[in-house]
């Protein structure tokens, strides 16, 4: 196989990667100008490291070897270097063997950076590059005593064969990703990215650069807030004009601080941030938190500066929060970090909060405190140029201090990765999210965001088990139930109160939300004493028919409401906290003092009963929690490949069709669609295309009566009045009449003649390619009404059997498939099998840019595809596929 031109540089192989200790390096293919860097790198290697790599002393690189090492063709000979700043800290390379499918692989890591996971990262990226270049197998020669390198290969998740001769291990393994290798890579990714956020939220020292002595300045506020929170580490003000700030010694530059600095809070004008970055890089600061504005939100010049800043920081091992960020919080007693512009450290709780908007951050923190919602950690990322919500999801997954995750999102940087991380996290910790910006992305987020349509967003959240809400008010309403109450076992809700009117409002809302009433609402009457009220609560909670309780209370005139609150709380404590309770109590919002169970810090904690100003809000919040609990209880399902699939044949056909069109996006002919679908066991009801009435009659006889005739023009076939379709033609005369009628309507001699499928409900199954999120499978009933109402369900590929079954039941019109009003139910198993075959086709062939099966007739006898439309094109690039990497930063020229 011919190599590339050495100057055909594969820029898409470049990547910023997070190491196991949370630091970063920049990975890129080696080019000839790296020769001096390779010499310097080699000179710093210890004799032992050189011996392990080269099986001998090899004190310096000979000129001939240097040329070979630095000049590669990026195809048969590939080399990657990991850079920290301008210095090479690791090198990995492969060389194809004898023009075959195998290559020899080797790498070396500088002594100072061994143990940071660079070997496994180089192996992942080399394997991905090799696979792209047609290689299938790696071989490696490793000294048996080189235990660290042996572990890199052994622990990568590949099936490694090994042989040993004279102290040298010969290793061989296929490089196609396996379930185990992917799981290993994902696990390492999670640990590394979680560690980088841990470094951000657990600093031992913080420098405030731009700490001002003037109370109104941002730098003053940031510094004072750190002191007021009683941060357990050391705080250093950096101010070139004053010797101290608020009585604390100040330093002219971060470089003048005598001790290490973990976190630098930057509060200087935008034009000064670049020089601050240079100083922080020289100091070895781990994380930069930029509260300064004037970057992407200020226009193209600011965007350029922002992207350049992040690229430079990552290349030198540093992560960046912001710019334009409100800051970060950690309420842990051993940290007490308030590196934000919000004046107070909120109460300690077990809820993590990520917010993209700096402007809303202060209001969010105040609202959380007012409602009695304690936080574990909080990050407001502003322009989100580097650290994003995905990083926080990685951290919270293993954070023992966080049980609930709240997100305020305006856009997605990597939607596909978000879905993967959220789905995994939501299995153990609820995620509640507000997604604003439905129709536009803020300018400052555009460079690091992907705009996806609303259907994709909804599919993303549903697939991942994320509880989506429409406003911050709904976010907090729902969070209070998750934070303070247990998950329900089912959807049966009891309602107890002292007002029949309020109880009926609660009952109506419960029914609208699809919940089941355990019984009629219990009304103890407006004058019932606290004891009777408590008795009704006890009976509801102890009933085996109750999964959750709604308490609606209007204070009586003669008895203080606090007595009823005390009776409610004491009853719950007596019975133990087994079923969730929400209330409309004293018209309070949040957790009233009378219903609170306080932590040692005086913050409402587990067992507190949330209250809402109206029964509708109480029940709506509870309903979201019930739906989440049902999602979590639902089996995850199994990835299924239906029988009778011919993958290689299909992929060969796809290549052939694309080559015939020079790779251009193309709508396939009917015959080619039938061939490709046939490879996946999806049969289209037999048809013929004819051009004369006699041919139509002949085709009908060949296919077998009854038949249907359809216009070739899709616009006519899709009309509600079926102007372009003639059904149930049982005779030659009927075919002749239908042909002449269709020819007059369409003005075209060509007509479809198709065998009549069994009568059934007309459905549509589709593939929708989202450039960032991946391929979505959609399902709904055909027809104008369903289309106008947007009654479609979506799931992301790949699908499990549970995903496919759920997809069929989600449209509002789905009950028509299951025997609505006595009709015979459709064969859902056949419909589900078709969905899984369509999903498998999409997974195997990313070149399939869209597919529509419409109609597919769902009947008691099976599912019959009557028409199919398929578009092929060059496969899109997919974020979150391939080896580990951070979201790409592409500075403008």
Q: Are 682 and 845 in contact (CB under 8 A)?
A: no
Residue 713 has a pLDDT of 86
- Classify each residue of 39-74 as buried b or exposed e, where b means 16 or more C-beta atoms within 10 Å of its C-beta: eebbeebeeebbbbbeeeeeeebeeeebeebbebbb
Q: What is the pLDDT of residue 724?
A: 87
Number of residues that make up the chain:
893
* Mean per-residue pLDDT pooled into runs of 10, the chain (893 residues): 60 96 98 97 97 94 96 96 98 96 97 97 97 94 95 94 94 92 95 98 98 95 97 98 96 98 98 97 97 93 95 97 96 97 91 89 92 96 94 98 95 82 96 74 46 68 90 96 97 96 96 96 93 96 97 79 89 91 88 91 93 96 97 91 94 92 88 97 96 97 96 76 85 96 91 94 89 80 83 89 94 91 91 97 92 94 95 79 84 41
CATH fold of 486-633 reads Rossmann fold (3.40.50)
Tokens coding 389? 């919500």
Write out the E strands in 557-662: 581-585
Please give the pLDDT value at position 334: 96
- In this prediction, residue 825 carries a pLDDT of 94
For residues 43 and 82, is the Cβ–Cβ distance under 8 A? no
Pick the CATH number of 687-756 from 3.40.50.800, 3.50.50.60, 3.30.1490.20, 3.40.50.720: 3.30.1490.20
Distance in angstroms (rounded) separating the CA atoms of residues 663 and 656: 10
The domain made up of 635-685+759-883 has a fold known as D-amino Acid Aminotransferase; Chain A, domain 1 (3.30.470)
Instruction: Report the C-alpha gap between 386 and 287 in whole angstroms.
Output: 11
- Measure the CA–CA gap between 203 and 236, rounded to whole angstroms: 13
Residue ranges of the chain that CATH labels 3.40.630.30: 11-177
DSSP classification of residue 33: G
Q: Extract long-range pairs of 64-69: CB within 8 Å, 24+ residues apart.
A: 66/35, 66/38, 66/39, 67/35, 69/30, 69/35, 69/38, 69/93
SS (H, E, C) 403-419: CEEEEEECCECCHHHHH
At residue 762, the pLDDT reads 93
What is the C-alpha to C-alpha distance for residues 402 and 353, in angstroms, rounded to an integer? 10
Domain 11-177 has CATH 3.40.630.30: yes
Count of alpha carbons within 13 angstroms of residue 506, beta-carbon side: 35
For residues 551 and 543, the answer to whether their CB atoms sit within 8 Å is: no
Give CATH 3.30.1490.20 domain extents, the chain.
687-756
Q: Is the dihedral of CA 378, 384, 390, 391 positive or negative?
A: negative
Q: Rounded to the nearest 10 degrees, what angle do helices 270-283 and 300-315 cross at? A: 0
Instruction: Report pLDDT for 557.
Output: 66
Taken in order 541, 545, 550, 552, the sign of the CA dihedral is negative
Domain with CATH 3.40.50.261 in the chain: 195-480, 486-633
- pTM score: 0.90
Question: Measured on CA atoms in the order 645, 648, 649, 651, is the torsion positive or negative?
Answer: positive
CATH 3.30.470.20 domain extents, the chain: 635-685+759-883
CATH class assigned to 195-480: alpha beta
């Amino acid at each position: 196989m011919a190599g590339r031109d050495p100057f055909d540089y594969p820029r898409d192989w470049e990547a910023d990667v997070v190491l196991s200790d949370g630091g970063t390096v920049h990975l890129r293919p080696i080019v000839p100008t790296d020769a001096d860097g390779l010499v310097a790198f080699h000179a710093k290697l210890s004799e032992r490291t050189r011996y392990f790599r080269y099986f001998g002393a090899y004190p310096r690189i000979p000129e001939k070897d240097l040329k070979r090492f630095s000049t590669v063709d990026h195809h048969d000979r590939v080399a990657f270097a990991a850079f920290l700043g301008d210095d090479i800290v690791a090198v990995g390379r492969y060389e194809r063997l004898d023009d075959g499918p195998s290559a020899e692989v080797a790498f070396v890591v500088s002594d100072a950076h061994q143990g940071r996971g660079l070997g496994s990262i180089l192996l992942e990226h080399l394997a991905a590059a090799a696979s792209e270049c047609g290689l299938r197998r790696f071989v490696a020669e490793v000294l048996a005593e080189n235990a660290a390198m042996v572990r890199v290969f052994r622990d990568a998740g590949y099936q490694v064969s090994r042989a040993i001769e004279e102290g040298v291990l010969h290793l061989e393994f296929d490089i196609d990703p396996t379930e185990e290798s992917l799981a290993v890579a994902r696990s390492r990714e999670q640990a590394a990215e979680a560690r980088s956020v841990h470094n951000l939220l657990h600093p031992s020292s913080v420098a405030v650069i731009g700490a001002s002595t003037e109370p109104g300045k941002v730098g003053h506020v940031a510094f004072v807030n750190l002191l007021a929170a009683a941060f357990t580490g050391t705080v250093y003000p950096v101010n070139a004009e004053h010797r101290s700030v608020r009585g604390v010694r100040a330093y002219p530059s971060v470089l003048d601080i005598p001790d290490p600095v973990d976190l630098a809070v930057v509060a200087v004008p935008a034009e000064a941030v670049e020089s601050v970055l240079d100083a922080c890089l020289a100091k070895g600061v781990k994380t930069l938190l930029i509260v300064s504005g004037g970057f992407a939100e200020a226009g193209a010049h600011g965007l350029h500066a922002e992207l350049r800043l992040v690229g430079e920081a990552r290349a030198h091992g540093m992560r960046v929060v912001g710019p334009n960020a409100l800051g970060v919080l950690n309420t842990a007693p051993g940290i007490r970090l308030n590196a934000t512009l919000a004046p107070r450290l909120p109460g300690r709780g077990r809820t993590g909060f990520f917010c993209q908007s700096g402007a809303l951050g202060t209001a969010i923190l105040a609202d959380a405190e007012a409602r009695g919602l304690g936080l574990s950690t909080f990050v407001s990322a502003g322009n989100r140029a580097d650290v994003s919500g995905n990083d926080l999801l990685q951290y919270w997954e293993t954070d023992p201090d966080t049980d609930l995750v709240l997100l305020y999102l305006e856009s997605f940087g990597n939607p596909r990765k978000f879905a993967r991380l959220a789905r995994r996290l939501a299995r153990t910790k609820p995620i509640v999210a507000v997604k604003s910006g439905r129709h536009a992305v803020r300018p400052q987020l555009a460079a690091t965001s992907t705009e996806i349509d609303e259907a994709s967003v909804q599919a993303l959240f549903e697939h991942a088990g994320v509880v989506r809400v429409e406003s911050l008010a709904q976010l907090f309403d729902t969070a209070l139930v998750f934070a303070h109450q247990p998950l329900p076992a089912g959807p049966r809700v009891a309602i107890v109160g002292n007002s029949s009117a309020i109880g009926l409002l609660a009952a109506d809302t419960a029914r609208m939300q699809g919940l089941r009433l355990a019984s009629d609402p219990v009304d103890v009457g407006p004058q019932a004493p606290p004891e009777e009220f408590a008795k009704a609560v006890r009976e509801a909670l102890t009933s085996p028919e109750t999964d959750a309780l709604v308490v609606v209370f209007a204070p009586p005139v003669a008895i203080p409401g606090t007595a009823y609150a005390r009776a409610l709380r004491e009853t719950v404590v007596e019975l133990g906290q087994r079923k969730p309770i929400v209330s409309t109590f004293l018209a309070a919002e949040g957790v009233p003092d009378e219903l609170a169970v306080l932590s040692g810090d005086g913050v409402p904690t587990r067992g507190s009963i949330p209250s809402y100003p109206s029964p509708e809000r109480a029940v709506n919040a509870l309903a979201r929690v019930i739906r989440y609990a049902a999602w979590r209880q639902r089996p995850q399902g199994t990835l299924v490949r239906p029988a009778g699939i011919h993958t290689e044949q299909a992929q060969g056909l796809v290549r052939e069709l694309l080559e015939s069109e020079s790779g251009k996006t193309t709508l396939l002919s009917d015959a080619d669609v039938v061939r490709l679908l046939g490879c996946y066991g999806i049969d289209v009801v037999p048809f013929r295309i004819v051009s004369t009435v006699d041919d139509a009659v002949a085709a009908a006889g060949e296919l077998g009566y009854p038949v249907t005739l359809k216009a070739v023009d899709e616009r006519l076939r899709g009309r509600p009045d079926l102007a372009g379709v003639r059904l149930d033609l049982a005779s030659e005369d009927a075919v002749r009449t239908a042909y002449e009628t269709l020819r007059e309507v369409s003005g075209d001699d060509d007509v479809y003649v198709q065998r009549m499928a069994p009568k059934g409900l007309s459905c549509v199954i589709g593939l929708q390619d989202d450039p960032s999120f991946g391929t979505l499978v959609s399902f709904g009933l055909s027809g104008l009404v369903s289309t106008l109402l947007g009654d479609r369900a979506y799931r992301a590929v790949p699908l499990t059997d549970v995903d496919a079954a759920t997809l069929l039941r989600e449209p509002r019109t789905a009950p028509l498939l299951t025997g609505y009003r006595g009709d015979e139910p459709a064969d859902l198993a056949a419909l589900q099998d078709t969905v899984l075959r369509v999903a498998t086709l999409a997974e195997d062939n990313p070149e399939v840019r869209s597919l529509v099966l419409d109609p597919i007739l769902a009947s008691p006898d099976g599912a019959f595809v009557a028409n199919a439309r398929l578009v092929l094109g060059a496969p899109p690039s997919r974020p979150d596929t391939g080896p580990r990497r951070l979201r790409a930063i592409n500075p403008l020229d």
